């Protein structure tokens, strides 16, 4: 391992060979530092790149003769903290939205009083999580495993939500079949 202080001094003087050698020697250390904190190699590589950009912009602040690694790790820590804060800021502002179902064909029919409500009206009585599951299963044709993956839940949880949704929808349709008109504001057990 070449003397890092010498390589850094030569890097400050725009020596491309010294720059490459410094990056080759220090990058594995920084990559391990970031991977140990984040666990994701792509995220660690992004942080490594951001660190080298910061080092390059501030290379003139390095004082020859001083230890290089603490100086470099100071940049790495700041980049890591900035990334963490940025992620937290984004997460605090995100809102989970249920996906909008695809509109049916453009043909609009006037519903007859005895006709069953259309799908969108029917599932409007469901809580958002059940509505999302039913839409993914029945409209998009996704499997239970795919829905579980998309909703970050277990297959059992998806089955339970679907079962409860189907029970509610059966109640709505049963009430509709009894002659009593169904309204979107009706409570369903």
Burial level of 182, CB count in 10 A (0-12/13-18/19+)? buried
Query: Looking at the structure, do residues 8 and 41 belong to the same domain, yes or no?
Result: yes
| Total number of residues shown for the chain | 189
106 and 45 inside one domain:
no
Domain end position, chosen among 78, 93, 108? 93
**Cβ atoms of residues 160 and 166 within 8 Å:** no
170, 145, 173, 168: which is closest to 137 by C-alpha? 145
Number of structural domains (the chain) is: 2
The per-residue pLDDT for 180 is: 57
Indicate the pLDDT class of residue 1, thresholds 50, 70 and 90.
very low
Q: Of 93, 116, 133, at which residue does a domain stop?
A: 93
Q: What is the torsional sign of CA 19, 24, 26, 31? A: positive
Q: Does residue 22 have a pLDDT over 80?
A: yes
Q: In terms of domains, do 88 and 44 share one?
A: yes
For the domain that residue 105 is a member of, what is the CATH number?
A: 1.10.10.10
Instruction: Assess whether pLDDT exceeds 50 at residue 141.
Output: yes
| Residue 23, token pair as written in the block | 């990056």
CB of 5 within 8 A of CB of 65? yes
The domain of 123 spans: 98-189
Task: Indicate whether 124 and 76 sit together in one domain.
Answer: no
Domain match, 104 and 188 both:
yes
Average pLDDT over residues 17-44: 88
Q: Which residue has the higher pLDDT, 115 or 142?
A: 142
Residues 144-169 pLDDT 10s: 888 887 778 899 999 999 999 999 98
pTM value surpassing 0.95: no
Domain containing 88 — which CATH number? Answer: 1.10.1740.10
Give yes or no: residues 166 and 183 share one domain: yes
Q: Are residues 78 and 52 in the same domain?
A: yes
Give yes or no: residues 105 and 137 share one domain: yes
Residues 65 and 108 both lie in one domain: no
Give the pLDDT confidence of 63-110 residue by residue, as tens digits: 998 889 989 999 999 999 999 899 888 888 877 777 767 766 655 555
Looking at the structure, tell me whether residues 19 and 54 fall in a common domain: yes
User: Can you tell me the distance from the alpha carbon of 100 to that of 62, in angstroms, rounded to the nearest whole number?
Assistant: 54
Could you report the per-residue pLDDT of 114-134, keeping only the tens digit for each?
555 677 778 888 888 888 888
Residue 111 neighbours by CB under 8 Å, 6+ apart? 117, 118
For 49-59, what is each residue's pLDDT tens digit?
Answer: 999 999 999 99
Domain end position, chosen among 93, 127, 154: 93
Rounded to whole angstroms, the Cα distance separating 23 from 53 reads 12
Sign of the dihedral defined by the CA atoms of residues 24, 51, 72, 36, in that order: negative
Please report, in angstroms and rounded to a whole number, the separation of the first and last CA atoms in the chain.
72
Task: Say whether both 79 and 20 belong to one domain.
Answer: yes
Mean pLDDT within 58-62: 93
Q: What pLDDT is recorded for position 89?
A: 87
* Same structural domain, 78 and 116: no
């Amino acid at each position: 391992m070449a003397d890092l202080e010498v390589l850094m001094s030569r890097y400050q003087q725009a020596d491309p060979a010294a720059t490459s050698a410094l990056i080759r020697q220090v990058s594995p250390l920084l990559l391990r530092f970031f991977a140990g904190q984040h666990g994701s190699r792509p995220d660690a590589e992004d942080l490594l790149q951001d660190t080298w950009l910061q080092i390059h912009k501030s290379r003139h602040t390095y004082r020859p003769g001083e230890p290089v690694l603490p100086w470099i790790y100071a940049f790495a820590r700041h980049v890591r903290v900035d990334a963490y804060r940025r992620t937290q800021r984004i997460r605090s502002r995100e809102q989970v939205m249920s996906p909008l179902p695809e509109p049916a064909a453009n043909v609009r029919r006037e519903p007859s009083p005895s006709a069953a409500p259309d799908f969108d009206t029917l599932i409007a009585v469901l809580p958002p999580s059940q509505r999302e599951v039913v839409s993914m299963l029945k409209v998009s044709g996704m499997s239970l495993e795919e829905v579980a993956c998309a909703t970050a839940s277990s297959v059992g949880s998806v089955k339970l939500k679907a079962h409860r949704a189907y029970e509610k929808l059966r109640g709505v349709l049963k009430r509709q079949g009894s002659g009593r008109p169904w309204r979107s504001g009706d409570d369903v057990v």
